[in-house]
Amino acid sequence: MANLTPAKLAERARAEISAAADALLRTNALLVVIKKAVDESNLDGLCAHSLIETALELTGVYAERADAEADFFAEVH
């Protein structure tokens, strides 16, 4: 961490926040399709189970990344 300049720290934070925002947008898109499947009683036709698994994996991965970044930035003084 010694050779991380303020600009590099800011870029790291920007990149992670941007990646998290993208993951949230993709998860939202999955949930919109799942809601449509539920509303139309068409869970199989719209592969709702697979979409749910994908949403769970996506949110799990990005939750872990966010937690790791929070730990990283907790050490920055």
CA neighbours closer than 13 Å in the CB half-sphere of residue 35: 6
- pLDDT band for position 46 (50/70/90)? confident
Taking only the tens place, the pLDDT of each residue in 23-33 is: 999 999 999 99
The pTM is what? 0.81
Cα-Cα end-to-end distance for the chain: 11
How many angstroms separate the CA atoms of 60 and 54, rounded? 10
Which two structure tokens, joined as six digits, stand for 34? 């799942």
